[in-house]
Chain A
């Protein structure tokens, strides 16, 4: 049996070596502890790093934990080297991504209905950046592809899970009664007819 201190210490070393988020499951298996305990240890480490204001932070990402730098230190890190960063997402890409994130699994048609404009190029770009992925096919006519967000999406925005997406329901919950879908579809067909 290992002491809690030893396990936490080992988790730190493991996170350091891996770089990528270390799955709680993997870490728990190493010590034969249950996932809940392992997650608790990770969260304790996270708190400790936070409270001590360390230059590293323990970030939770989709069921795993990883070391990241503290945002406040970014300017200092940049003096050392200029970290290569991807281009920021365009507003159109963010809109598309937001719809996928909140509505997943979602088809292209549904996204286009909300945005009122074609989204194929946006989806392509998001797929390429590994922020979204195909998660299956809908049962509706034509079996359209369903899209969902990836683990990369969580990492890109620093979300522990999808539950950390900002709340937007307070504006107005969109109601989509079943009998309305006919009208909605009609609009979609109109769109495609014009294209």
Chain B
């Protein structure tokens, strides 16, 4: 049974090298090449054991480290080397320093990113409603433009034709209660006991008003305020006043249901009147 070790994921060979140097508490300006090279190679070996894909760049840096190590082992007493005093590690150090700088910057950007994720902006508005976007029309050639214009005219004509058949309908505000009040007052004003249905209406009364008056009558019948008779079908409806009740709490009266049908009608309506 194999023992699995979770390894940190490194972003690249420099990332790994900087990590190893920092872990060894070594100065980046004075890298102990042999120690670091050994650790670096050991880590790559671990990665290989983990079946991780090792980018070729890791191997390149390994080669560079080994080369550097061998250079460091050479005695620096050669006369030629004395002239050129450059530390063989210098180039690597410079690269690592620069890499570390950007790694730090990346960390800072990451923090700023995190902070800024709590700041929300509104998606840009579609301002076409305000600007009217004339470009779309301007891109048309004359033929297309004419075609659209004809279509527009045709559509306008059709709409006008349909409009001619329209009647404007104002919303009716009258209620059954107002109808009942009107009928009661009419009886009282004329000081009569009998009125015909036709007399309840005026020449201006429209279909709705007729319906409303009729429904009001049914409601009053249910409450025994009036008595209605009709001699023949489609004949004159004669209304005889009974005892009017005072107060407006008319529809609140539970349907007495003396006459089954009228009671039912009243029940249905009472909900709507309230």
Residues of A within 8 A of B102 (CB): 95, 98-99, 102, 114-115, 168
A77, A156, A166: the one within 8 Å of B105 (CB): A166
If A172-B101, A190-B60, A194-B59 touch, whether A19 touches B106 (CB-CB below 8 Å) is no
Give the complex CA separation of A118 and B60 in angstroms.
12
| CB 8 Å contact bits of A15-59 with B (1 = contact, 0 = none) | 001111000000000000000000000000000000000000101
A17, A83, A101, A114: the one within 8 Å of B127 (CB): A17
- B254 on the interface (CB 8 Å rule)? no
Interface residues in B103-138 (C-beta closer than 8 Å to A): 103-110, 112-125, 127, 130
| CB 8 Å contact bits of B150-185 with A (1 = contact, 0 = none) | 000000000000000000000000000000000000
CB closest residue in chain B, given A71: B118
The answer to whether A88 touches B114 (Cβ under 8 A) is yes
- B198 on the interface (CB 8 Å rule)? no
| CB 8 Å contact bits of A77-102 with B (1 = contact, 0 = none) | 10000010100110110110111011
Interface residues in B13-33 (C-beta closer than 8 Å to A): 13-15
CB closest residue in chain A, given B56: A194
A-B contact pairs, 28 of them (CB 8 A): A17-B125, A19-B125, A20-B124, A67-B121, A67-B122, A91-B11, A92-B11, A94-B106, A97-B106, A98-B105, A113-B95, A115-B11, A115-B99, A117-B55, A157-B116, A158-B116, A158-B119, A168-B101, A168-B102, A168-B105, A171-B97, A171-B100, A172-B97, A174-B97, A175-B94, A180-B94, A184-B91, A191-B57
- A155 on the interface (CB 8 Å rule)? yes
| CB 8 Å contact bits of B40-56 with A (1 = contact, 0 = none) | 00000000000000011
- B257 on the interface (CB 8 Å rule)? no
- B61 on the interface (CB 8 Å rule)? yes
The answer to whether A94 touches B57 (Cβ under 8 A) is no
Give the complex CA separation of A154 and B54 in angstroms.
35
- B12 on the interface (CB 8 Å rule)? yes
If A19-B123, A116-B57 touch, whether A156 touches B108 (CB-CB below 8 Å) is no
- B98 on the interface (CB 8 Å rule)? yes
Q: How many residues of A contact B (CB 8 A)?
A: 53
Interface residues in A152-187 (C-beta closer than 8 Å to B): 155-158, 165-166, 168, 171-172, 174-175, 180, 183-184, 187
Residues of A within 8 A of B113 (CB): 88-89, 94, 156-157
If A88-B114, A168-B104 touch, whether A74 touches B109 (CB-CB below 8 Å) is no
The answer to whether B98 touches A156 (Cβ under 8 A) is no
CB closest residue in chain B, given A174: B98
Residues of B within 8 A of A69 (CB): 119-121
Q: How far is the CB of B180 from chain A (nearest CB, A)?
A: 50
Residues of A within 8 A of B94 (CB): 174-175, 180
The answer to whether A71 touches B121 (Cβ under 8 A) is no
Give the complex CA separation of A18 and B124 in angstroms.
6
Residues of B within 8 A of A158 (CB): 112, 115-116, 119
Residues of B within 8 A of A18 (CB): 124-125, 127
> 4 shortest A-B CB distances, which residue pairs?
A117-B12, A74-B118, A94-B106, A71-B118
Residues of A within 8 A of B97 (CB): 171-172, 174
The answer to whether A19 touches B56 (Cβ under 8 A) is no
The answer to whether A171 touches B101 (Cβ under 8 A) is yes
Q: How far is the CB of A45 from chain B (nearest CB, A)?
A: 16
The answer to whether B110 touches A94 (Cβ under 8 A) is yes
- A195 on the interface (CB 8 Å rule)? yes
The answer to whether B110 touches A91 (Cβ under 8 A) is yes
Q: How far is the CB of B3 from chain A (nearest CB, A)?
A: 27
- A66 on the interface (CB 8 Å rule)? yes
Residues of B within 8 A of A72 (CB): 118
If A68-B121, A69-B120, A83-B120 touch, whether A114 touches B99 (CB-CB below 8 Å) is yes
The answer to whether B106 touches A95 (Cβ under 8 A) is yes
